[in-house]
Structure 1
Amino acid sequence: MLKINITDHQQNITVQYCFPDNNSSCRKEVQTGPAYMFLFIVLSCISVCTVFLNLLVIISISHFKQLHTPTNLLILSLAVADLFVGLFLMPMKMMELADTCWYLGKLGCSILPVINFLSTSASLYSLVLIAVDRYIAVSDPLLYSTRISVCKMSVIIIIGWIFSLLYNILYLYFNDHFFQSQLRCYGECVLFVKHSWFIADVVIVFVTPCSIIIISYSLIFKIARYQAKAVRAVSNVVSVCQKDKVLNSSETKAAKTLGIVIFVYLTCWVPFFLCSLSVENVNSVSVVWTIFGWLMYMNSSVNPLIYAIFYSWFRESVKYILSCRIFESSSSTINLFPERL
């Protein structure tokens, strides 16, 4: 590494460059110290947990035939998108925090944002589809199986991923990212987003999905309350006090679950977009962008906890996976819902 010592009467400054043999190389800044070491350890643990939890979800739904349902396919799609976040994006962002230099060249700089946006947008649209799927299941449970099948859901998921990929490629293309014409020096990988495009992106990627999720879960909660009141009105088996207790418990549990879903989603996504709206030219290397970007990535760590760990079938499947019993010949047909026997 090339070092240039500039001696002054009061200080000695050491300047390092990313590529010493290149005259247009960027300056190198390496973050060290106990605080950064602690930060890297925490972020590494988050990345590992994100990969591990989502892998458990993917293996569970893929292996056990009993879990091959339309709703679980959406959870599988969500887990795949979140796995990419933990496996690729989080480690790359940690490298950017540790070292300001970009060593993967122009091709790597062009591909990384595609993976970044594809993973986050696919994760977000999976959340939207899960919300819509649950609304259909609650509003018309008798006709749900005829309207939504595994085959139809697979096609919908594939279309969603293709749309996310094409949209993100066009988004980066019209922001001149693939040409890298705005880079100031060699060894830099920066994404510059035009403010007009960012506004359009906010509407497509944030406002619309956010609205659908909130409206869907609000309607689900209203329908659940209506159905609970209907059951209370016609039931003659349980006493009035017992019925009120069961109803209140059911409503409270539903409210808490929906509240967690909406709260985590908004907490992870709102700060990033609201803060970026106040900037005329969005620069991906800014400190604020980095902090709120990591907050968005954290949603991929929490998603498996919300959409999978709370399910009894997931706890049962994890026992088989961790004990390596899935390698048994008939493990894929194991009943994960023993209470239904």
Structure 2
Amino acid sequence: MTDILDKDDFCYPQLNSSCRVPTHPYVEAMLIYVLLSCISLITVALNLLVIISISHFRQLHTSTNFLLLSLAMSDFLVGFLQMPFQIFYYHGCWFLGSFACALNNFSSFLVVSASVGNMVLISVDRYIAICDPMLYPSKVTIKRVTVCIFLCWIFSAVHAGWILRDILGQPDIYNSCIGECVLIVNYAEGVVDLVVTFLAPIAVITYLYMRVFVVAVSHARTMRSQITSITVGPVAITVQRSEMKAAKTLGFLVMVFLLCSCPYYCFTVAADSNLFGASSGEAELWLIYLNSCINPVIYVFCYPWFRKTVKMIFTLKIFKSDSCEVKVL
């Protein structure tokens, strides 16, 4: 009986080099499994609705919405790949093999880098729209935005490949036993990742939104001075208010992203200083992943067009002929 219990404590009881199974209280484990599974399903469903909405309705084919589409793609991958991988590994044993382990690590760096890049592009888009509105249509075209999005994903893939070049060549290089999927990033690569995917983007985003805030205050004063205008006033005020609302919404999106990301990167710095163990970063990692579920919720409350498109999707009206031409703005 003792031998059977001892063998059950290992991921692969038939192998001498197998990892031991971490023990979790049954009720606690089930609650965590259910909670994280629900978050994963909601993340996939909501971001899929965003992807379908922007892709299907032609009126939503704008440069800003294409940036939101790219962000939704990275959030969808978080819910579709990263969250299930983390839920599966919560048991403490990795049964999916070395290829899936390498895919898990690569996609983790890829989607986080892509999300950061999309946030920077969104900030640049709002900066130009508010600070240089007359030249915005000529500067920010759909073709240019598409190229920027493509380069963002290419850079993210290259960045992830460079950080994980050793693991991609030998996925189990850092595993101490069979049944592990361990990721160890060297100090130099960790510093580069911290600067490229956190410090530098925060600096750029903060500067751009400070500039947007200054110009927004100036525009607000201009709107008040033109409020009695009959010919130009109403049009100018409508355009400015529309841009301001978009800037506030996307600014809130960026702020939530930073709040969700800061704990993880602070933990990374602390872990490099040996202040925390590697296993204590799971909650911070899930906080980053949770941001992918929060983003489409922000769209629901801030974008009336998203509520309209979701209603059309659930009522299957998108399958009608010429449904893509429906006005949702």
Aligned amino acid, residue 158 of structure 2 = L
**Offset of residue 267 of structure 1:** 1.8
Q: What secondary structure sits across from 2:9 in the alignment?
A: strand
Deviations 1:67-125 (A, max 9, x none): 1111110000000000000111111101111x111111111111211111111111121
Alignment partner of 1:279 is 2:278: no
Deviations 1:266-315 (A, max 9, x none): 22111111122122388x99332101000111111111223564112111
Alignment partner of 1:103 is 2:102: no
Alignment partner of 1:162 is 2:158: no
- Alpha-carbon separation, structure 2, partners of 1:207 and 1:85: 22
Judge conservation of contact 2:209–2:251 (CA < 8 Å) in 1: no
| Corresponding position of 2:302 | 310
| 1:56-205 to 2 correspondences below 5 Å | 56-97=49-90, 99-173=91-165, 176=167, 178-179=169-170, 180-205=172-197
State the TM-score, normalizing by the size of structure 2: 0.88
| Corresponding position of 1:4 | 3
Deviations 1:169-202 (A, max 9, x none): 011115x564232321111110011123212211
- Alpha-carbon separation, structure 1, partners of 2:98 and 2:7: 27
Q: Please say which of residues 188-197 and 27-36 is displaced more in the overlay.
A: 27-36
18, 24, 39: which one aligns with 1:31: 24
293, 296, 299: which one aligns with 1:301: 293
Q: How many residues are aligned here? A: 318
| 1:201-240 to 2 correspondences below 5 Å | 201-237=193-229
**Offset of residue 32 of structure 1:** 4.2
Structure 2 unaligned spans of 5+: 231-240
Judge conservation of contact 2:114–2:156 (CA < 8 Å) in 1: yes
- Alpha-carbon separation, structure 2, partners of 1:148 and 1:91: 37
309, 322, 325: which one aligns with 1:333: 325
| Corresponding position of 2:35 | 42
State the TM-score, normalizing by the size of structure 1: 0.85
**Offset of residue 162 of structure 1:** 0.6
Question: What is the RMSD of the two structures over their aligned residues, measured on CA atoms?
Answer: 2.8
Query: Which is higher, the Rg of structure 1 or of structure 2?
Result: 1
Aligned amino acid, residue 73 of structure 2 = V
- Alpha-carbon separation, structure 2, partners of 1:321 and 1:61: 12
Aligned amino acid, residue 290 of structure 2 = M
Judge conservation of contact 1:192–1:281 (CA < 8 Å) in 2: no
Structure 1 unaligned spans of 5+: 7-12, 239-248
- Alpha-carbon separation, structure 1, partners of 2:307 and 2:277: 40
Judge conservation of contact 2:51–2:69 (CA < 8 Å) in 1: yes
| Corresponding position of 1:54 | 47
- Alpha-carbon separation, structure 1, partners of 2:251 and 2:142: 28
Larger helix proportion, structure 1 or 2? 2
* Fraction of identical pairs, as percent: 39
Larger strand proportion, structure 1 or 2? 1
- Alpha-carbon separation, structure 1, partners of 2:18 and 2:324: 55
- Alpha-carbon separation, structure 2, partners of 1:69 and 1:184: 50
Identify if the C-alpha distance between structure 1 residues 314 and 158 changes in structure 2 by more than 3 Å, giving closer, same or farther: same
- Alpha-carbon separation, structure 2, partners of 1:3 and 1:88: 38
- Alpha-carbon separation, structure 2, partners of 1:224 and 1:192: 44
